[in-house]
Amino acid sequence: MNQSIQTQSPNNVSLLISQSRTNTLGNKTGTWRFVRPKYQEKTAPCSNACPLGIDIAMVEMFASRKDYHSALNKLLMENPFPAICGRVCFHPCESACNRQFLDQSVGIHHIERFIGHWGLSHAKNFDTYPELNGAKIGIIGAGPAGLSVAYFARRLGYRCDIFEKSEYPGGLLKSGIPSYRLPDRILMDELERLNNDDIQFKYSQSISMDQIKTLNEHYDALFLCCGDAHSIALKISGEQHSIDGLDLLHQIRSNKMPVIEGTVAIIGGGNTAIDVARSLLRMGAHPIILYRRTRKEMPAHSHEIDAALKEGVVLKECLSPIEIQKNMNQLEVKFQCMKPGDITDGGRQTYIPDGNCSVTMPFSHVVSAIGAEMDIMWRNDQWELSMSHCQMKRIADQPVFWCGDLTTSEKTVTHALASGKQAVIAWDVMRNQSQNEINHICHQCQVGKGPAISFDIYTNGERKNRNNTEIVSFERVNSAYFPKIPAIQVNKISQESCQNSFNEVISGFDETQMMNEASRCFNCGICNDCDTCRIFCPEMAIQWDKSNRHILLDYCKGCGICIEECPRDAMNLEVEP
């Protein structure tokens, strides 16, 4: 009710105005509402693009608050090796990052690397391995896929035995990736995370298909994670004069560093070709990459090609080797010149021989790096279960999962880790529920549009307020809240050091750089308690006590201002039920 007051001034000037001291609590504006806001978190495009489905928006939020423990826990939830992935993953997350439409993508992998590194000194050992559940699995191969199987399986209570044909764990992480990209110390430190009494590594154990039946008797399930162990041959005359690229990388990583000088031909266009070329450069040779198509078609990742060319590697396009001849101390390689042909239905440019045009060039060595394939004994096309990152068939009534490079089309470390996670979840569902439930359960655990699945959702249930399948587009980000800030440039060693040593090229962010970069993240789709909704609510209907933000429906009139203002699309408007 309104009141009026009259104040007599000393000079008796009349002053009568309307004034009220009642509050507006009696005015329940909620009765006006026909739509209501709700906190509805969504999936960020980076998470959707991540093969492991890491909750990246949350990682960046914690990182920007210097809460490294929480950031690391978010990473370790889905990924056993953030310090490694922060270095070697080709970060599809950054290609999907919404920030690129404002200025530049967030340097997600540099932040992951920083948090992973923090973990090496603060949480090297994963301390939340649960009690064993009585079942035991066998893993063939201690590469990324096999290690991932062990990590996730142990977290579900399985005892694991890993059979590895070499004398050390890591697979290609150890033997294939040069140390200027992944230093040995980081690899070894991070593998400590699997140091657990119930994960047994059995080295120098080469397992063949014939032994699988025998092994089966000792395990509840087997996981084949042996990777593409065989290089693809050049199949040209004189190929015996060439060196195998993967073998070479392996030798370089071992203490038996070969001596290779002069101008070296590297045949191929994939990441192995780039790794070989950049390694040879550091050994004092002059590497030339010869590829039968053009740079545009090279399967190697673009920033790796850029780095190689910048360091001084030479690339020659449209040359396909047809013959290697030994002549004195030199190898003469004859190349067929290639030219663009038709474009395939898939849109890929084909290349065809350019008539009889050929060139011959002398080299001191020729390295073949045209790819690798699995051992023929693992080939199979009869599956009982076929998923995006693993396949399964029963051998002697026991489930055997094919994982990692044996099944994935994209042969990267991160996809191999994703494969291990998927296979373990599939096996766990099979064992505890039934094989028929696998697709349904995996769909429930899907991150964004998939195929990545979340171990977090599998073990802890659906995330509060989160719609996992809805992805935040840039249009839904309120970019008015984000001034343009270019990405923080990462520290690198000098060009000279690159050419003379195997020191790690990228030295990573310092803490300030990391926090600044993490603060650039929009935190798409998640509530980071920015409080914008509460500040803008014209009815003061948004309440925030401690960690709980809620809407007073007695007063919310459904104007939708909170949703319009939310900088990161963490709210939705829905029709009043």
Q: Give the footprint of other proteins on this chain (CB under 8 A).
A: 2, 4-7, 9, 11-21, 23
CA dist., res. 503 & res. 497, Å (int): 7
Q: 3-state class of 432 per DSSP?
A: helix
Residue placing its CB nearer to other proteins in the complex, 22 or 460: 22
CB contact at 8 A, 85 and 413? yes
Q: Minimum Å distance from CB 5 to other proteins?
A: 8
Whose Cβ is closer to other proteins: residue 16's or residue 575's? 16
Q: Which lies closer to other proteins via its Cβ, residue 11 or residue 409? A: 11
Between 5 and 359, whose beta carbon lies closer to other proteins?
Answer: 5
Alpha-carbon dihedral 106, 459, 419, 441, rounded to 10 degrees: -110
Quote the least distance from Cβ 562 to other proteins, whole Å: 24
Q: Cα separations (Å) of 19 from 4, 25, 137, 539?
A: 5, 17, 78, 20
Q: How far is the CB of 480 from other proteins (least distance, A)?
A: 17
The distance of closest approach from Cβ of residue 552 to other proteins in the complex, given in angstroms and rounded to an integer, is: 19
Closest separation in Å from C-beta 21 to other proteins: 5
Q: Smallest gap, in angstroms, from Cβ of residue 540 to other proteins?
A: 13
Beta-carbon neighbour count of residue 132 at 10 Å? 13
Q: What is the nearest approach in angstroms of other proteins to the Cβ of residue 8?
A: 10
- Least distance to other proteins, CB of residue 512, Å: 33
Q: Of the two residues 12 and 548, which places its CB atom closer to other proteins in the complex?
A: 12
The least distance separating other proteins from the CB of residue 543, rounded to whole angstroms, comes to 19
Between 18 and 344, CB nearer to other proteins:
18
CB of 201 or CB of 555, closer to other proteins? 555
Assess contact for 180 and 502: CB atoms under 8 A: yes
Q: Provide, rounded to whole angstroms, the least separation between the CB of residue 4 and other proteins.
A: 5
Which two three-digit tokens encode residue 546? 């401690």
Pairing of strands 571-575, 35-39: antiparallel
Q: Looking at beta carbons only, is 14 or 436 nearer to other proteins? A: 14
Residue 271 near residue 301, CB atoms below 8 Å = yes
Based on CB atoms, which residue is closest to other proteins, 341 or 538? Answer: 538
Residue among 227, 252, 256, 232 nearest 242 (CA): 232
The CA distance from 351 to 342, in Å, is 8
Strands 385-386 and 391-395 turn out to be antiparallel
Helix residue spans in 79-177 (DSSP H): 82-88, 92-96, 108-122, 144-155, 172-175
- The residue (of 17 and 575) whose beta carbon lies closer to other proteins is 17
Which of left, alpha, beta for 439 (phi over 0: left; psi -120 to 50: alpha)?
alpha
23 or 31: whose CB is closer to other proteins? 23
* Radius of gyration from C-alpha coordinates of the chain: 29
Rounded to a whole number of angstroms, the minimum distance from the CB of residue 550 to other proteins is 24
User: In the Cβ-directed half-sphere of 27, how many Cα atoms lie within 13 Å?
Assistant: 9
Distance from C-alpha of 387 to C-alpha of 409, rounded to nearest angstrom: 12
Beta-carbon contacts of 236 under 8 Å, excluding residues fewer than 6 positions away, are: 321, 322, 323, 324
> Pairing relation of β-strands 263-267 and 286-290?
parallel
Q: Which residue in this structure is represented by tokens 């979840």?
A: 425
Comparison of 10 and 486: residue with beta carbon closer to other proteins: 10
Question: What is the closest distance, in whole angstroms, from the C-beta atom of residue 537 to other proteins in the complex?
Answer: 18
Phi, psi of 453 (to 5 degrees): -120, 155
145: left (phi over 0), alpha (psi -120 to 50) or beta: alpha
Measured between alpha carbons, how far is residue 436 from residues 223, 431, 432, 440, 441 in Å? 20, 11, 11, 8, 9
DSSP code at position 446: B
Return the DSSP state at 233.
Answer: P
Number of residues that this document lists for the chain: 577
CB nearer to other proteins: give 14 or 329. Answer: 14
Please, what is the minimum distance in Å from the beta carbon of residue 7 to other proteins? 5
Positions of E strands within 383-504: 385-386, 391-395, 398-402, 466-471, 491-492
